[in-house]
A and B are shown apart, each in its own frame.
Chain A
Amino acid sequence: MEVFLQQLINGLTLGSIYGLIAIGYTMVFGIIGMVNFAHGDVFMLSAFIALIFFMLIASWFGAGLIVLALIVVLVLAMFFTSLWSWTIERVAYRPLRGSFRLAPLISAIGMSIFLMNFVQVVQGPRNKSTPPMLNKSITLIESTTYAVQISYKQIVIIATTAVLLAIFWYIVQKTSLGRAQRACEQDRKMAALLGIDVDRTISITFVMGAALAAVAGVMYLVLYGVVSFHDGFIPGVKAFTAAVLGGIGSLPGAVIGGLLIGLIEVMWSAYFTIDYKDVAAFCILAIVLVFMPSGLLGRPEVEKV
């Protein structure tokens, strides 16, 4: 029971990171029907940006106020990652809008290869590790053999995710921007006819997705304390799995899917074998797509001729 509780906490932490990345996938897919393959690498890039800002702050002001530093880094990483994503959309995807189906996907794969190798060239191929931070933890339950602990890191990650998701939810549901996004998702041509600037809305969608990926990147760095240039691919695919599991195009679905994938991965590692945890995630992707293509909360696709 204690082991299960501990794994539940670990799984929720990992799952919130996947959920944050998954939102970027699901929003872009919802609005332009394209798998943004470079999203995982944008996440990796944001972890690098966060790493560099952490080190800058540490060298300028010392490592005293870690929480304040975390907030500053979070804001900076969100801004600069969004700028990257905005540029990528502008350069690599916008010229291909309305082009044939495979063109944006190939462009996105090319962008993913580019980003991965760009980071490798400018920051070197080795793993980059930060000094450990927020290492203390609280013991929740203590039995004779096992103590269930929740570390400060995990509290920070889960709390930040929850707060940002709430803000994000408010933007999509209550503001005119969110209304424009939902309109574009339903019918882009009609939205344009009604005076919505579709290009701008799509740009903002990419920016929002990247900002949440940047949060995930900062959290990833805080959780593991190490990042390397190829760290974007596997979390990216898992986050996409999460988006599909939750029903692609559905925002709450992406978060639920992310949490589920995180839990499954952690439980699998704890109770079966850690070697095959990625295989488990990919198998879930295949099984879900084959038997439940619209996911948990997605709308079934209607075929019109």
Chain B
Amino acid sequence: MADFIPHTAAETREMLDLLGLEGLDDLLSVYAQSMPASGLPDLSRLGEGCDERTLLEWFSSRAKRNLHAGRAVVFRGAGSYDHFIPAAVSSLIGRGEFLTSYTPYQPEASQGLLQAIFEFQTAIARLYGMDLANASLYDGATALAEAVLVAIRETERSVVLLSEGIDPGCRAVVATYLEGMSVRVRTVPLESGRTLPASIAENLGPDVACFVGASPTFLGTVDRFDGVAELLHGAGALFIIHANPHTLALLRSPGEWGADLATGEGQPLGLPLSSGGPYLGLLTARKKFVRRIPGRLAGLTRDREGRSCFVLTLQAREQHIRREKANSNICSNETLLALQSLVYLALLGPSGLRRAASGSWSNAHDLCRGLLTVPGVSLVNPETDFFHEFVVELPVAADSLSRHLLSKGVLGGLPLGELMGPSWSRCMLWCATEIRTKSEIAQTVELVREFLGFR
């Protein structure tokens, strides 16, 4: 057993003597009125503690029952992506000066992190084509929910339009966040994997706070927003785009589409799949919303002696100052993961990020072409281009193929029935990133062919 308490017995004694106490238990007098008659709780079910080796063995033996990306070839995305991560990323973010520090409220002792946050804000704002970004939120879904709250506060309106192209999981999180408010959420349907401005227009009215589009959509299609910003602004509503940052190396950015706010899940930028978390919520905005947005912001300033330096700024928006009138309740965010994505972006640079995104596009299209050679397999939304994910319809239940592939060491496309309803039960959402190889793609196509009974 270890407890990381450094006191020797003699030191403990000296400290108690100074306090005039006989033993450590005397300190519990602060709880006297609340101590149950039964005394201290029985903690025997929490075990007796263990050493490092035993501890790691316990976790390793559980980990062996997981089919992680080293044991199964990942052709699944749907919000979590298996990308290349340079080795230098983990060594840099593991440095104790970053890892074990707190929120940089004392700027003189926190310039390293403040500068990193400032650089992260810069990288994300430039990637999204927007004026500014905050220092991170919990994940993509909560970032989207917070952006919707900004729109509701800014417009003082009560209807939110969400594209059907947004991950159903994210839409559900938005609904949970709006639980306590009198706000209605309407879904704008996709036509062939795209949003028709007419579908938005049909739903527009004086009570609409915002429309949120997805780029690419959950189904992988590359949506377009020609004229959407003008349409929304004409109706006094805000335009929000939820975009995958990996794809922005090649795709038109939210800023270019005229978005007021843009959000995203930062996991594709150098974060492992991580069993679902912690991930990284990205939130970007036009300059005019700077006092409306939630979360921390690092800003450039000068110190007393004129040196250029960094501070947390516009804190008057935040809970520790404004309390119930704050823009959000967020305090802890995902700073270390923001640093992680910044290191990733710095190591890859613009050419590396473009190369990775091109690899994803190229591999996904190779995979799609391969799967379509299997009789009975057809592409859903064939009229619309996709980025690195696409949906195919199978002649069998997608669940059965998924189970079969997993038994052969392949994490295939995501069966969509559970998320999207029974009419999608034969549909599968596939993904290929830049790290998939030609032989992995060919072998997976053959496994699908074999399972479907056509050799």
**Do A and B interact?**
no
> Which residue numbers of A lie inside 8 Å of B, CB to CB?
none
